[in-house]
Amino acid sequence: MNTITQRLEQVRDRIRTAERRFARPPGSVELLAVSKTKPPEAIREAAAAGQRAFGENYLQDATAKIDALADLAITWHFIGPLQSNKTRTVAERFDVVHTIDRLKIARRLSEQRPEHLPPLDCCLQVNVSGESSKSGLTPEAVPALAATISELPRLNLRGLMAIPAPAESFEAQREPFARLRELLESLREHGLELDTLSMGMSADLEAAVAEGSTLVRVGTAIFGHRQY
């Protein structure tokens, strides 16, 4: 069985290969290692192999790991559903949040971000496939919320995030990623300085890179299947 270190290098090689294949600049796609449900020891092994960004969905589990790994120079991304009763912990403990889809949540994060920390980097989550079971804004609702959030003093709006519905073919995988990229480009044309497309996971990262992803969120291909 491959180790976490070996699987991490395999994922990095997939990203590098996709960058070359789709004429992306080398190093333009960041890897976020999704470590939800995994123990601190697994994260420590990945960090020893050079991984610096980790994504977590479950707040109580995540904060315990943040405390246990406080000696490591790593960044923590919150990528799970975000309710009002979680915003203070996210604002105080995380470096990036990917899942903002309501102005109320954004305002709470801005108000609760400690003054001694830099503004909280964030992305808007877009329900780009229109799934009723998924969180996220409709594409039509994104421009107004993005413009409002960009004015909040303790948030730094970086871009957009999506989790499209699974697709069978490579071209079908590309379609929702293309829509998200086009939406980001439209926001830029209206004056927002955005640089992040958080899209692509273990099964579809190549399609995401093809359509301009700047950050792929990979868990299973690095840490193995999760046990809940």
Show the domains of the chain with their CATH numbers. 4-223 (3.20.20.10)
pTM for this prediction: 0.96
Mean pLDDT within 7-27: 98
Per-residue pLDDT tens over the stretch 113-145: 999 999 999 999 999 988 777 889 999 999 999
Task: Inform me whether the pLDDT recorded for 227 exceeds 80.
Answer: no
Kindly state the tokens that stand for 55. Answer: 């994504």
| CB neighbour list of residue 215: distance below 8 Å, 6 or more residues apart | 29, 30, 31, 32, 196, 197, 198, 199
Q: What is the mean pLDDT of the chain?
A: 96
- pLDDT band per the 50, 70, 90 thresholds, residue 110: very high
Torsion of CA 38, 41, 43, 49, to 10 degrees: -140
pLDDT of residue 124: 98
Task: Inform me whether the pLDDT recorded for 178 exceeds 90.
Answer: yes
Task: Inform me whether the pLDDT recorded for 79 exceeds 70.
Answer: yes
Task: Inform me whether the pLDDT recorded for 228 exceeds 60.
Answer: no
Mean pLDDT within 203-218: 98
Task: Inform me whether the pLDDT recorded for 10 exceeds 80.
Answer: yes
pLDDT > 70 in the chain, percent? 99
Mean pLDDT within 72-98: 97
pLDDT of residue 13: 98
Per-residue pLDDT tens over the stretch 145-176: 999 999 999 999 999 999 999 998 999 999 99
